Amino acid sequence: RKISIVSDDAKKLTRSPSPASRKATAVLFITNLVRPFTAPQLRELLARTGTIAPNGFYIDKIKSKCYVKYTEVEMAVETRHALHGVRWPVNNPKTLKVEFASPEDMALVQELAEDETKKSESVDSGWLNEQAALKPARRVSAYPTYFN
The rounded distance, in Å, linking the Cα atoms of 97 and 63 is 14
pLDDT of 1 reads 45
Q: Which residues neighbour 33 within 8 Å (Cβ) at sequence distance 6 or greater? A: 42, 59, 63, 64, 65, 66, 92, 96
- Full-model pTM: 0.69
Per-residue pLDDT of the chain (148 residues; tens, 9 = 90+): 445 555 454 444 444 468 888 999 999 999 999 999 999 999 999 999 999 999 999 999 999 999 999 999 999 999 999 999 999 999 999 999 999 999 999 999 999 988 887 777 665 555 454 555 555 655 555 555 555 5
pLDDT of 96 reads 97
Residues 48/6, Cβ–Cβ less than 8 Å: yes
pLDDT of 137 reads 58
pLDDT of 114 reads 86
Local structure of 53: helix, strand or coil: strand
Domains by residue range for the chain, with CATH: 17-123 (3.30.70.330)
